[in-house]
Amino acid sequence: MDNQTLSSTFQQYYGEAPTLVAHAPGRVNLIGEHTDYNEGFVFPAAINFGTWVAASKRDDNEISVTAMDYDNQQNQFALSDIQYDEEQGWANYVRGVVKVLKESMPEFGGANLLVTGNVPQGAGLSSSASFEVAILKAISALYELPLDGVKAALLGQKAENTFVGCSCGIMDQLISAMGNEGMAMLLDCQSLAIEHSPLPDSHQIVIINSNVKRGLVDSEYNLRRQQCEQGASLLGVASLREANIDMLETAKAHMPEVVYRRARHIITENARTLKASQALKNGDIATVSKAMAESHVSMRDDFEITVRPIDYLVEIIDEVLGTSGGVRMTGGGFGGCVVALAPTDKVEAVKQVVANKYFDETGYNADIYVCTATQGAFA
Ligand code: GLA
């Protein structure tokens, strides 16, 4: 999005130039899926797709927001009474974050906002987290609020949990706020400790959008979360982060089979995430490759969040990459995207195999984005 178009559209709607333009990126997760709300480890990168929010202050206590990507629909609400909007679903991300921000830092007034973004929606690349973080960045910058990236991420998550109704973890908002250019980020979701880790020059992040629109995401997502909590409680630990495979095997006989498998995914995924992030640092791509492959199988068989077209993409791309790179589903699941870490000289072959085989096998057309890792909104 060029700032020129954003500014002139803002001018058109609000009769003045914006004071600032905030930006927050979407993300791709390299490994560590559904581990965040189990207080485990994730390894995402912020990507060069995101949300832009042009903003200026108003002298009343109203927020007015215009969504360029929804036919310039407008939504307006008073800061003193923020309710869920049944009609304009997209507006609830704004309403939710403004509400939780107000509870936490009441020292701000009204704003005019214009929003646009290019994160594909419903693709598991965190378009909603990038929207939330961009709004928080815009308002906090306008009113010079003492909001840092971690706090912003926690507010975004809170808005999503309490206002929008998805029990998501902290990964998406935190990487959108705190990612670094050229880096992936190992995040300990228990302590919120962050370790930035350079991505190798030899490889590219290739995202393949299956274009299977995610169905039943929120209900299935919330169900997975409940099953994980049940697993932790049966194992007598506060979260699955505290569990290990020996404990799980010992308790197996007393656990529902599905809960056992959900817990096995989380426990093994945490170990794989640590292993893969370390291996990437050491340039040991073969280990990264194996960890990503095992992660996919675990999401497919134990956590049951993949769909057949996604499994197929992983199979055909894996045949091209072998141990020279890695491939797995990324994000919450039930459709969405596959992420490949591909050596630069194999990117074309990845594109080719998808073009040659994916549509014929599944009836879906894939989109492919070769991404770079970018800077978070508060980094
Ligand atoms: C969604 C959630 C995240 C995380 C992932 C799965 O993106 O918003 O918190 O749980 O799914 O790893």
Q: What is the mean pLDDT of residues 8-29?
A: 97
pTM: 0.97
pLDDT of residue 159: 97
Whether residue 215 has pLDDT greater than 70: no
pLDDT of residue 214: 74
**Helix, strand, or coil here: 65?**
strand
Range of the domain at 85: 3-196
Whether residue 234 has pLDDT greater than 90: yes
Whether residue 3 has pLDDT greater than 90: no
Is 55 among the domain residues? yes
pLDDT of residue 218: 76
Is 70 among the domain residues? yes
Please give the helix or strand (H or E) that residue 64 lies within, else none: strand 62-67
Query: Residues with catalytic annotation?
Result: 172
Q: What is the mean pLDDT of residues 91-115?
A: 98
- In this structure, the residue with its CA closest to atom 5 of ligand 1 is 332
Is 142 among the domain residues? yes
Question: What residues have CB less than 8 Å from 4, skipping those under 6 apart?
Answer: none
Q: Are strands 62-67 and 111-117 parallel, antiparallel or unpaired?
A: parallel
Q: Which tens digit of pLDDT belongs to each residue from 177-193?
A: 999 999 999 999 999 99
- Ligand 1 centre and the CA of 357: distance in Å? 29
- Ligand 1 centre and the CA of 332: distance in Å? 5
Contact assessment for residue 199 and residue 44, using Cβ atoms and an 8 Å cutoff: no
Atom of ligand 1 nearest to the CA of 124: 7
- In this structure, the residue with its CA closest to atom 11 of ligand 1 is 332
Give the rounded percent of residues in the chain with a pLDDT score beyond 90. 95
Contact assessment for residue 81 and residue 170, using Cβ atoms and an 8 Å cutoff: no
- Ligand 1 centre and the CA of 304: distance in Å? 15
Alpha carbon distance 177, 53 (integer Å): 14
Question: Best substitution site from 168, 240, 265, 270 to test ligand 1's pocket, by max atoms within 8 Å of Cβ?
Answer: 168
pLDDT grade for 216, boundaries at 50, 70 and 90: low
Q: At 151, which CATH number? A: 3.30.230.10
Give the rounded percent of residues in the chain with a pLDDT score beyond 70. 99
**CA distances for 57 relative to 54, 133, 147, 155, 305, angstroms:** 11, 18, 17, 21, 43
Q: What is the mean pLDDT of residues 7-26?
A: 97
Question: What residues have CB less than 8 Å from 142, skipping those under 6 apart?
Answer: 19, 20, 55, 56, 57, 108, 111
Alpha carbon distance 339, 295 (integer Å): 12
- Burial class of residue 61 (count of CB atoms within 10 Å of its CB; 0-12, 13-18, 19+): middle
Whether residue 93 has pLDDT greater than 90: yes
Is 274 among the domain residues? no
Task: List own/partner pairs for 222-226 with CB under 8 A and 24 or more apart.
Answer: 222/166, 222/167, 224/34, 224/262, 224/303, 224/305, 225/37, 225/167
Atom of ligand 1 nearest to the CA of 170: 9
Other CB atoms closer than 10 Å to residue 107's CB: what's the count? 9
Q: What is the mean pLDDT of the chain?
A: 96
pLDDT of residue 4: 87
Edge-first strand listing for the sheet containing 20-29 = 20-29, 44-57, 111-117, 62-67, 73-78
pLDDT of residue 107: 96
Whether residue 165 has pLDDT greater than 90: no
Contact assessment for residue 69 and residue 137, using Cβ atoms and an 8 Å cutoff: no
Q: What is the mean pLDDT of residues 69-84?
A: 97
> What amino acid occupies position 108?
F
Q: Which tens digit of pLDDT belongs to each residue from 304-343?
A: 999 999 999 999 999 999 999 999 999 999 999 999 999 9
The pocket around ligand 1, CB under 6 angstroms, is made up of 29, 33-34, 36-37, 126, 168-169, 171-172, 331-332
Token digits for 305? 């969040």
Is 76 among the domain residues? yes
Residue 199 has what DSSP assignment?
Answer: P
Is 211 among the domain residues? no
Whether residue 223 has pLDDT greater than 70: yes
Domains contained in the chain, number: 1
Is 308 among the domain residues? no
Dihedral-angle region of residue 67 (phi above 0 means left; psi in -120 to 50 means alpha; beta otherwise): beta
> What amino acid occupies position 311?
D
Is 226 among the domain residues? no
Alpha carbon distance 336, 307 (integer Å): 9
Question: What residues have CB less than 8 Å from 276, skipping those under 6 apart?
Answer: 30, 31, 43, 287, 288, 291, 292, 295, 326
Q: Which tens digit of pLDDT belongs to each residue from 191-208?
A: 999 999 999 999 999 999
- Burial class of residue 100 (count of CB atoms within 10 Å of its CB; 0-12, 13-18, 19+): buried
- Ligand 1 centre and the CA of 38: distance in Å? 11
